[in-house]
Amino acid sequence: MSDGRPTKILALSGGVGGAKLACGLYAVLPPGALGVLVNTGDDFTHLGLSISPDLDTVMYTLAGVVNPETGWGRAGESWAFMEATAALGGDTWFRLGDKDLAVHVERTRRLRAGEPLGAVTAELCRRFGISCEVMPMSDDAIATLVDSDAGTLAFQDYFVRRRCAPRVRGFRFEGIETARPNPRALAWLENPDLAAIVIGPSNPFVSIAPILAVPGLRDALARRRVPLVAVSPIVGGQAIKGPAAKMMDELGIRPSAAWVAEQYGDLLDGVVIDEADRGLADTIRGPRVLVAQTVMRDAAGRARLAAEVLAFAAELRR
């Protein structure tokens, strides 16, 4: 802020892809300049514990303790709890590692004591030494439901237990009508220091749509005076990770970065598509297009994409 220009960046994120871009932004921005607004539609209670998969993926990634193989869960994890639970006949389809448990137990304890999820998340991030702000989209419970040929499924049932096998027909976000946006998210969106908003390469249906569906958040995004840029999670017609492309296919949408740009509609000032999709650039109407290497293979790749996205947003701001 030495030159008086706005410096803060708000990133919207689901799990792995959004977390990687958030991590790149975290690496290239000064301390305190990044806020990450995270989907909580995947949250659920398992074995009596409050699990927030996307918040944890973002937190573990920013803290540098994420499992580099999977992009979620913790590095060097062990599974003694899970094995003991299995031996007792307990559910093991959603695997909770021994280290990972420390977060779930602490989160559950604090939520039960009446702390809002936002405060719990902030405290966990503080303890992990994370110097940016990670925010759930809401402190209220919102549950993504998947309408499918196997019926209406809770998200983790669809995603983890059934490994995305059912064909999807649509999505609903239970509790969204009465959910209030996380007050910190609104504060970020209204902060005069905000320079840009970045939608990470996360699943449009089940990671970004729930955030945009929280009453008040979409309006606040529409009222913004700063550029909003989205990074496409679809590269060459495929999802880098997760079921986004499969979902599009089942919904009768041809998976493409161009569709992603359309999906966010007039919310978008810019879209970042992969080199592999350079040929699509001219077909995208509305937002400005940046072609970049969007597949983040390592820390350098994350930081490079983050820097390009920031430069693109700065250009759009002029």
Site residues (CB under 8 A) for a second copy? 47-49, 74, 77-78, 80-81, 83-85, 87-90, 97-103, 105-106, 108-109, 112-113, 124, 127-128
Instruction: CB nearer to a second copy: give 75 or 165.
Output: 75
Minimum distance of a second copy from residue 112's CB (angstroms): 6
Instruction: CB nearer to a second copy: give 125 or 226.
Output: 125
Q: Are 305 and 21 in contact (CB under 8 A)?
A: yes
Q: CA 279, CA 295: separation in Å to the nearest integer?
A: 17
Q: Are 107 and 101 in contact (CB under 8 A)?
A: no
Minimum distance of a second copy from residue 96's CB (angstroms): 9
Instruction: CB nearer to a second copy: give 119 or 303.
Output: 119
Q: Is 130 exposed, middle or buried (0-12, 13-18, 19+ CB in 10 A)?
A: buried
Instruction: CB nearer to a second copy: give 105 or 165.
Output: 105
Instruction: CB nearer to a second copy: give 81 or 259.
Output: 81
Q: Are 13 and 202 in contact (CB under 8 A)?
A: yes
Minimum distance of a second copy from residue 86's CB (angstroms): 9
Minimum distance of a second copy from residue 120's CB (angstroms): 12
Minimum distance of a second copy from residue 105's CB (angstroms): 5
Minimum distance of a second copy from residue 62's CB (angstroms): 15
Minimum distance of a second copy from residue 264's CB (angstroms): 36
Q: CA 170, CA 109: separation in Å to the nearest integer?
A: 34
Q: CA 148, CA 250: separation in Å to the nearest integer?
A: 10
The values of phi and psi at residue 50, to 5°, are -85, 115
Distance linking the first and last C-alpha atoms of the chain: 17
Q: Are 226 and 270 in contact (CB under 8 A)?
A: no
Q: CA 37, CA 11: separation in Å to the nearest integer?
A: 6
Q: What six digits make up the tokens of 147? A: 């309408």
- The CB density around residue 89, as the number of other CB atoms within 10 Å, is 7
Indicate if the alpha-carbon torsion angle 103, 106, 112, 115 is positive or negative: negative
Instruction: CB nearer to a second copy: give 99 or 304.
Output: 99
Instruction: CB nearer to a second copy: give 95 or 288.
Output: 95
